[in-house]
Amino acid sequence: MRLPNNVVAFAQNDVTLYEQFQDYFNHKHNKVGHFDADTKLTDKKSQLDESIKKEIAKFSNVASVEGIAPEVLATNPMYQWAAFAIVGAMVDAILPDTVIDSIGLYTDLRVGGFGDSFSFDIEARDLFVVSKYGNGARSAEVRKQFKGQVNIIPENRQITVQTSLYKVLCGLEDIADFAMKAARSLETQMTVDAFTAFNAAMLALPNTGDDQLRIAGYTQEDVVELCQKVTAFNGGRKAVIVGTQLALQNVLPTDTNYRYSLESDYVKIGYIKTAFGYDVMVLPQVADHTVDFKLALDDNNIYVLSPSADKLLKGALEGSTLSHVQPAQATANLTENVTFSKRWGFAVATSAIAGIITIA
């Protein structure tokens, strides 16, 4: 995984800690092919903890001194700043790639610094009209197309977590897992925001007439027709059938005599990888932590889109993850409120077309 430029700049080109955190995160969440499988997770954890301590000491310019207890060093304001600034950089090291895993099929995500302009040019989808003209005509009716442009202004989001800095810096609370949970919280909310915008746009598609792109009820004929239409109007870029694993279980031949063996994809992974000449891809389901045991992605919809065409959704991820701390001395129980801030935004802006089939 490539580190974002702001993380490399923050690390002053010594990126050992952030590469270790990427590897540890991917290993812990079993992102196959993105971590060193030869080293045990417990060994990586020990190495990561040691690297975090060294990084804090480097940035705070307060090295551990023999005979001085860690909790005494922790009262240094520079030590406090360094600890959570490093957590913010660790979050930035993994956030763009983890989000892309969830929403990359339909989202063009752009990462920039604070104050950057997030402008997306939208090409015209239509071709030029070809007309019959006589041999003596100098030119046909003039045609011209213009690009559209969409600007996205990211909005700030925050997480405020109560923690004991003393325990964190003394190893009684794990700063690596603290950073991981912050990253997963931001990743989950970004995924939910992106899917909500995407799903709302799909549900607003026309459902009658020749321009029908929204279909109620699954049939094999409807899927194939919609795939053909999406492929043709996206310049021949082949359509893909997309949905949650539960939704994709419905993508089966209409023929009632169809049989599948115990060795088939449908039995092994829960859906067919290729159906009717088109690839089938799963959107990983996401937990909605605002309601107990609710899932965020809609299991009742199957989407047909062309990932290689202009992405349906545009996203902007602005600036570094910022943190600020309310000092422990300001609270009666000597706990600290740590707030992480991140700016992002999504908008539906595309020249491509897509379709949706509502199962129920």
The model's pLDDT over 187-220, given as tens digits with 9 standing for 90+, comes to 999 999 999 999 999 999 998 888 899 999 999 9
CA dist 325 and 320 (Å) reads: 16
Looking at residue 146, what is its pLDDT?
A: 85
Q: Do 40 and 61 meet the contact criterion of CB atoms below 8 Å apart? A: no
Nearest Cα residue to 242 out of 188, 162, 304:
304
CA dist 359 and 74 (Å) reads: 57
The model's pLDDT over 132-144, given as tens digits with 9 standing for 90+, comes to 888 888 888 888 8
Please name every residue paired with 112 in a beta bridge, in sequence order, or none if there are none.
318
Q: Does 173 score more than 60 pLDDT? A: yes
Tell me the longest C-alpha to C-alpha distance in the chain: 98
Q: Does 3 score more than 60 pLDDT? A: yes
Looking at residue 183, what is its pLDDT?
A: 87
The model's pLDDT over 48-104, given as tens digits with 9 standing for 90+, comes to 988 988 898 888 887 665 666 666 776 778 887 888 899 999 999 988 888 888 899
Q: Does 254 score more than 90 pLDDT? A: no
Looking at residue 19, what is its pLDDT?
A: 93
Q: Does 268 score more than 70 pLDDT? A: yes
Q: Which residue has the higher pLDDT, 259 or 224?
A: 224
Rounded mean pLDDT, 257-280: 83
Rounded mean pLDDT, 286-292: 87
Please state, as a whole number, how many other Cβ atoms lie within 10 Å of the Cβ of residue 107: 22
Q: Which residue has tokens 């006589």?
A: 134
Looking at residue 343, what is its pLDDT?
A: 95
Q: Do 352 and 312 meet the contact criterion of CB atoms below 8 Å apart? A: yes
pLDDT band at 33 (very low <50, low <70, confident <90, very high): low
Structure tokens at 211: 């321009």
pLDDT band at 272 (very low <50, low <70, confident <90, very high): confident
Q: Which range among 26-35, 53-62, 107-116, 132-141 has the greatest average pLDDT? A: 107-116
- How many residues belong to the chain? 360
CA dist 238 and 219 (Å) reads: 20
Which 8-state DSSP code applies to residue 330?
G
Q: Which residue has tokens 């790639």?
A: 97
Q: Amino acid identity, residue 315?
A: G
Nearest Cα residue to 120 out of 353, 345, 349, 352:
349
What percent of the chain clears pLDDT 90, i.e. is strictly above it?
45
Looking at residue 172, what is its pLDDT?
A: 67
Rg (CA), the chain: 25
Lowest mean pLDDT among 14-18, 42-46, 88-92, 122-126: 122-126
Coil vs helix vs strand at 213? coil
Structure tokens at 19: 């590469």
